[in-house]
């Protein structure tokens, strides 16, 4: 595959080729190869420390690669190739790529001094240079979508954790991303608040959004994912349909993990 390919349905939305990430002598990702088709929902499961979150952060170049390559919609992420050499993009160039990739973290990362509406319009007005009026109209549509239109003028501190996470999802969607990454989006929530966030994610999946979700919510993975990936020790151990991986795992490491969480 060439490096600067124009986005096309003939290419996977995400293609990881022999991705390696290490911190000093500690190898976190080892030779990860994975593809995600457009419109596909992929859930990644595995024990803590298996490299799941690091892999997500590599997809939008919040982490540098130490080997291999990653493309999103046919475009090399975080790097450019000139002849036989690959060069890392400057931070401003990487940020331009990142605007097409929405990411929702475990912690909500909302700006506490801004209202819900202001949090959502911040990136569209600053990065995409949308007018405040246009961004606000879009933000209200997204707040309606996540069931929080009445909270537009509220500040994050007055919201529950589930409400804050739904605002974080609306904020990511405000950039009209082609890909959404979710890094354990319900792990910081009280159990009774998990469902309201998962419901929003389920609707996104129904609407055809390409999603990669690191999660411990096996019920969600079983219901929504097209493909389930089990990672351990920085490698992809097993991948298949949720019913196959959860119901008939092929690898001993997968079986051992699932015996503790199912």
Do 41 and 226 touch, CB atoms closer than 8 A?
yes
Strand spans (E) along 97-245:
101-104, 179-183, 210-214, 227-232, 235-240
pLDDT at 1 over 60: no
* Mean predicted confidence (pLDDT) in 163-171: 97
The predicted structure's pLDDT at residue 5: 42
Do 43 and 207 touch, CB atoms closer than 8 A?
no
Per residue in 3-44, pLDDT tens? 444 445 678 999 999 999 999 999 999 999 999 999 999 999
Query: Per mean pLDDT, which range of 11-25, 53-67, 78-92, 147-161 is the poorest?
Result: 78-92
Per residue in 233-253, pLDDT tens? 999 999 999 999 999 999 999
Per residue in 78-94, pLDDT tens? 999 888 888 999 998 99
């Amino acid at each position: 595959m060439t490096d600067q390919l124009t986005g096309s349905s003939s290419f996977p939305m995400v293609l990881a080729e022999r991705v390696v990430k290490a911190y000093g002598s500690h190898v976190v990702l080892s030779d990860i190869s994975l593809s995600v088709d457009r419109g596909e929902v992929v859930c990644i499961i595995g024990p803590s420390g298996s490299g799941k979150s690091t892999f997500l952060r590599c997809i939008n170049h919040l982490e540098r690669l130490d080997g291999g390559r990653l493309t999103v919609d046919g475009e090399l992420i975080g790097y450019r190739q000139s002849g036989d050499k690959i060069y890392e993009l400057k931070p401003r160039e990487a940020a331009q790529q990142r605007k097409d990739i929405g990411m929702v973290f475990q912690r909500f990362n909302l700006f506490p001094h801004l209202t819900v509406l202001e949090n959502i319009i911040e990136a569209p007005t600053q990065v995409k240079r949308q007018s405040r009026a246009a961004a606000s109209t879009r933000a209200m549509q997204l707040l309606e979508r996540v069931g929080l239109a009445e909270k537009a003028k509220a500040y994050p501190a007055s919201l529950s954790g589930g409400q804050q996470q739904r605002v974080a999802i609306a904020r990511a969607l405000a950039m009209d991303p082609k890909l959404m990454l979710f890094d354990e989006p319900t792990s910081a929530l009280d159990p009774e608040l998990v469902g309201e966030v998962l419901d929003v994610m389920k609707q996104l999946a129904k609407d055809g959004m390409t999603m990669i979700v690191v999660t411990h919510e096996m019920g969600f993975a079983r219901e929504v994912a097209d493909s389930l990936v089990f990672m351990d020790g920085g490698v992809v151990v097993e991948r298949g349909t949720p019913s196959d991986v959860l119901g008939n795992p092929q690898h001993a490491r997968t079986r051992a993990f699932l015996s503790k969480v199912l």
